[in-house]
């Protein structure tokens, strides 16, 4: 299997077989030598899940290349946070590093090579906590490299090491001290973006938001002083937005179906520092609210105008 793609790949699935098939076709074209597949089970209060989960699991049975396959098909539903975090625990019991891809995150083929190069380049550098493929603001080139460093972790197509995942916790440890010391002030300097992340962390810490594992990953990366490697080209498009989506239903969301490009070179930035402007822009984009009211539509409009003005200013400045 030496001619096959060697970094292990974890594919996380649930329902939506048609969406899953599109993403799995990219994995099938890649032909990874080591493939791990974890599926959450059907929800008790959604009778249609039984058939959808079965159809989705059938999609990933079409493995027609030489491959070591490990599967973990849950009989009942654990929910997003427990299903994904326990899948990552399972994955890193067997591997020291790998690529993680959810069923609705459609990668450009170059995403896998990018992860492979970065996993090798930063394997023994604990400053790098994670690698991501999604860059939702890729119309602005950051720094002088083919990628930049971020204090925020991206999880729509990502890669990491066992050493990093071992720092993940289901709760936000020492969060009161984190707030008291105003740690976020040094990471996100734009008030609206900073308040978004603080309110999000507050909700996770208080138990009001226990639906996802991802915010705990972002917190773990910040708490431990780690950086995420972000490509200057967006390599992932989330194609799961819409009425059939489990959590992402707003098809007009700026995160939905973002176009992808391809990365062909892997030049490192000259300076090993996080890009503060990029993190501020990403935080501001995260403040988007579903347009259910005129107020939300108006605030989204103002936010987009603000972001557009910032980008135009930077382009002229460059």
Question: Which string of DSSP letters, residue by residue, matches 50-83?
Answer: HHHHHHHHHHTT---SS-EEEEEE-SS---HHHH
CA–CA gap between residue 66 and residue 34 (Å, rounded):
9
Concatenating the DSSP letter of every residue in 197-230 gives: HHHHHHHHHHTS--S-SHHHHHHHHHHTT-EEEE
pLDDT of 187-211, one tens digit each? 999 999 999 999 999 999 999 988 8
Tens-place pLDDT, residues 39-69: 999 999 999 999 999 999 999 999 999 999 9
Predicted local confidence at residue 250, as pLDDT: 62
Residue 311's CB: how many other CB atoms inside 10 A?
Answer: 14
Q: Residue written as tokens 């976020």?
A: 184
Which residue, among 62, 70, 65, has the nearest Cα to 4 in the 3D structure? 65
Strand spans (E) along 62-217: 68-73, 97-102, 105-107, 128-132, 147-150, 158-161
Res 2: pLDDT: 61
Query: Does residue 309 sit in helix, strand or coil?
Result: helix
Low-confidence spans in the chain with pLDDT less than 50: 293
**Per-residue model confidence (pLDDT) at position 124:** 97
Collapsing DSSP to helix, strand or coil, 16 comes out as coil
Per-residue confidence (pLDDT) for residue 257, from 0 to 100: 81
- In our burial notation (b when 16+ CB lie closer than 10 A, e otherwise), range 158-197 reads bbbbeebbeebeeebeebeebeeeeebeebbebeebbebb
Q: What is the per-residue pLDDT for 1?
A: 55
């Amino acid at each position: 299997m030496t001619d096959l793609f060697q970094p292990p790949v974890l594919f996380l699935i649930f329902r939506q077989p048609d969406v899953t098939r599109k993403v799995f076709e990219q994995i099938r074209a890649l032909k990874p030598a080591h493939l791990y597949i974890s599926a959450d089970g059907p929800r008790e209060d959604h009778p249609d899940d039984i058939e959808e989960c079965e159809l989705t699991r059938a999609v990933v049975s079409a493995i027609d290349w030489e491959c070591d396959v490990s599967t973990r098909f849950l009989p009942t539903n654990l929910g997003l946070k427990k299903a994904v975090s326990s899948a990552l625990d399972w994955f890193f019991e067997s591997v020291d590093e790998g690529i993680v891809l959810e069923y609705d995150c459609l990668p450009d083929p170059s995403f896998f090579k990018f992860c492979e190069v970065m996993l090798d380049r930063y394997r023994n550098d604990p400053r790098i906590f994670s690698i991501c493929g999604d860059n939702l603001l890729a119309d602005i080139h950051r720094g002088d490299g083919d990628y930049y460093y971020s204090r925020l972790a991206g999880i729509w197509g990502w890669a990491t090491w066992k050493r990093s995942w071992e720092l993940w916790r289901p709760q936000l440890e020492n969060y009161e001290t984190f707030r008291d010391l105003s740690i976020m002030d040094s990471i996100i300097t734009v008030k609206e973006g900073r308040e978004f992340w603080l309110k999000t962390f507050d909700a996770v810490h208080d138990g009001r938001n226990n639906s996802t594992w991802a915010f705990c990953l972002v917190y773990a990366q910040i708490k431990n002083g780690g950086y995420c490697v972000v490509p200057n080209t967006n390599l992932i498009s989330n194609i799961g937005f819409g009425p059939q989506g489990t959590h992402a239903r707003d098809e007009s969301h700026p995160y939905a179906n973002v176009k992808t490009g391809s990365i062909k070179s892997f030049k490192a930035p000259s300076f090993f520092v996080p890009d503060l402007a990029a993190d501020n822009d990403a935080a501001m984009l995260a403040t988007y609210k579903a347009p259910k009211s005129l107020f939300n539509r108006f605030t989204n409009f103002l936010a987009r105008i603000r972001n557009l003005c910032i980008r135009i200013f930077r382009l002229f400045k460059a």
